[in-house]
Amino acid sequence: MNAEVVEVDTRGLEPPQPMVRILEALAVLPAGATLRARTDRRPLHLYPLIEERGWVAETQPEAEGSYVTSIRHA
């Protein structure tokens, strides 16, 4: 069984819009799904907010300079 992956691309948005869009997507993320968020910078301010909501995140840098953060339920 493949888990659903929901993509959110916030590259090019000014803060706090990337964080707002990611949190909005998490609020409606189907059970068992993973959110893949593409951002221009490592989302350091997002980590405490998602952890307190019971999520875990892993961020990987991309070759062109952006970041991909995978977020799922802990």
pLDDT tens digits for 3-50?
Answer: 899 999 999 999 999 999 999 999 999 999 999 999 999 999 999 999
Which of 18, 27, 28, 22 lies closest to 7 in space, CA to CA? 22
Q: What's the pLDDT at 2?
A: 64
Beta carbons within 10 angstroms of residue 68's beta carbon = 15
**pTM for the whole structure:** 0.93
pLDDT over 80 at 1, yes or no: no
Q: Which tokens is 24 given?
A: 């909005």
Predicted confidence at residue 74, as pLDDT, reads 87
The predicted structure's pLDDT at residue 71: 98
Q: Which of 55, 53, 43 is nearest to 19 (CA)?
A: 43
Domain 5-73 has CATH 3.30.110.40: yes
